[in-house]
Amino acid sequence: IRHQSITSHMIGSRVKLKLINHFLTLDWESILQSPPAESASRVLNDGDQVARIIIFSMHLISRCILSAIIVLALLAYQPLITVILIGAIGPIYGVIFFGLKPTVLKNAANASNFVDYSMKIIRNMFGSIKEIIFYNNQQNVLLDFQDTNIGLAKAEGINTALAYIPRFVIDSVLLVLLIVSAIFAASTGLDNTSYFLTLSVYGIAAMKLLPAFQNIFYFSHEINSRYPYLQNIIALLEKSPFDEEEDIPKKAFSFDNEIALKKISFQYKGAEKLSLDSINISIFPKDRIAIIGPSGSGKSTFLDIFLGFLKPDISGSISVDGHQIIKSDFSQYRQLFSLVPQKIYLLEGTLEENIVFGDKNAHDKESRLSRAISLAGLESLVHELPLGLETRLSDDQQTVSGGQKQSIGLARALYRKRKILVLDEATSAMDFNLESKILLNVSSAEFETIIAITHKASILKYFNKICIFKDGRIEDFGSYADLSNSNKFLSEMLKKNSSIDNINI
């Protein structure tokens, strides 16, 4: 039993690892379409349920073997009685099992959905707890969770009860038969000694067979009641986001001349129109490119394709120094970039762990960390925090301001020391002084190229080229001097920020 339990849970842990790997290797569009709470439920809950299916399967096999041994022994001792009992008990269990199967599967599916919804409620609660408290919405959250929990309890409770129904049914039938037979024996004047001796033989045989049948039914029922969880996992693992690739070290890209994006078009699944339409752009070392444009104009989609998160339509291509990037190149291709995404997520860990972000074994860790903190303007934060770099942070706690959080994200990118720095609204929450200091630091750093999406005209002075998106196309591309008077969007953007008047690019 100990070996079975350990083995099943080890297999369950491998299933969880497989699920984690599945989500880590999903293509970006699939990740965007995967509800986080449901994905977490697949790993945390369904992985455990599959482990239970495995252990119940092991128990079922052992009980079947044990039952076979018992039946063979009884057949050798009392073949007629054994055949009669198996012929009577077996069909009862079979009818009950297959009769209850639709109800069991329905309850199991409901239970799986309730678990997913519970995860969603909990995730939403912790993600919006400030607003919940502010709007005095605690009771609605409690009632929602209570309804879900009651539904889950009922579904699982019914299935648990159904697991023991055959034993109660058969025990009741045997009791009735015993009473009827006793009355029959008494009323017909049968030899009580002979009659009850025969009845005892049947009873002893039944006592040996009933637990065997009940165990087979119970473990089969428990496997059946977890089948929807197994279906959830199979449905995920059947999807192969990437083909298996040989683990062959590849040469890193150098980016000495040009990154060229040609005929880049893209349409999201289910969308009615293209998000990008025939984009052509070349990026050279030392470029400082600001990407601007109205919301929904395709800027973020372009950046996701540029960074290899999304694959352009078949006609489009990305090449580095003449080498066209294919799917197997993505990992090495991304080694060119340091990225500050629009949404910075703080790990539940120390400030240092949030900056290093998993890269713990670098030989020059201390110097890189110090440099990143300095360039990102984090020195004052390090001194303000009670434990400095060892202060624990969390994305849900208000330990740091929005601007400081973006500075941590920038330090995370600077720590990597890549050739190209990509900023996606990376200074939107910073005040003017902090933003100016950081952008001045970044511009004077050793990055060969900087690409930034922004809605702030005040930072355009740090860029030598401006790329303006509109309706999924590049409307204009050139210097500030060339575009400030000729492009309507940029002109309106400048009017909204009078501080841009002194810009001289």
Domain boundary among 237, 267, 298: 237
Contacts of 485 (CB under 8 A, 6+ apart): 491
Whether residue 320 sits in one domain with residue 186: no
Whether residue 190 sits in one domain with residue 56: yes
Q: Considering the domain boundaries, does residue 120 fall inside one?
A: yes
Q: What is the per-residue pLDDT across 375-397, written as a single tens digit (0 to 9) for each?
A: 888 999 999 998 999 999 988 77
Whether residue 90 sits in one domain with residue 38: yes
Band of pLDDT at residue 190, cut at 50, 70 and 90:
low
Band of pLDDT at residue 505, cut at 50, 70 and 90:
very low
Strand 465-470 to strand 288-292: parallel, antiparallel, or no bridges (unpaired)?
Answer: parallel
Tokens, residue 38: 């449901």
**Per-residue pLDDT averaged across 4-23, rounded?**
79
Tokens, residue 471: 């309706």
Q: Considering the domain boundaries, does residue 456 fall inside one?
A: yes
Whether residue 271 sits in one domain with residue 139: no
Q: Considering the domain boundaries, does residue 414 fall inside one?
A: yes
Q: Considering the domain boundaries, does residue 249 fall inside one?
A: no
Q: What's the domain range around 189?
A: 2-237
Q: Considering the domain boundaries, does residue 499 fall inside one?
A: no
Does the pTM of the predicted model rise above 0.85? no
DSSP single-letter state for residue 89? H
Structural domain count, the chain:
2
3-state per-residue secondary structure call for 91-136: HHHHHHHHHHHHHHHHHHHHHHHHHHHHHHHHHHHHHCHHHHHHCC
The CATH number covering residue 379 comes to 3.40.50.300
Whether residue 198 sits in one domain with residue 280: no
Whether residue 318 sits in one domain with residue 228: no
Q: What percent of the chain has pLDDT over 90?
A: 25
User: Residue 84's pLDDT is what?
Assistant: 72
Q: Considering the domain boundaries, does residue 470 fall inside one?
A: yes
Q: Considering the domain boundaries, does residue 138 fall inside one?
A: yes
Name which residue leads in pLDDT, 297 or 211.
297
Band of pLDDT at residue 501, cut at 50, 70 and 90:
very low
Q: What is the per-residue pLDDT across 83-106, written as a single tens digit (0 to 9) for each?
A: 777 777 778 888 888 888 899 999
Whether residue 149 sits in one domain with residue 263: no
Whether residue 318 sits in one domain with residue 181: no
The CATH number covering residue 131 comes to 1.20.1560.10
Rounded CA gap, 147 and 131, in Å? 22
Amino acid (one-letter) located at 382: V
Whether residue 267 sits in one domain with residue 217: no
Whether residue 199 sits in one domain with residue 79: yes
Q: In what order do the strands lie in the sheet with 288-292?
A: 337-340, 420-424, 449-453, 288-292, 465-470, 473-478
Whether residue 201 sits in one domain with residue 112: yes
Whether residue 265 sits in one domain with residue 228: no
**59-68, 106-115, 277-286, 431-440, range with the lowest pLDDT:** 59-68
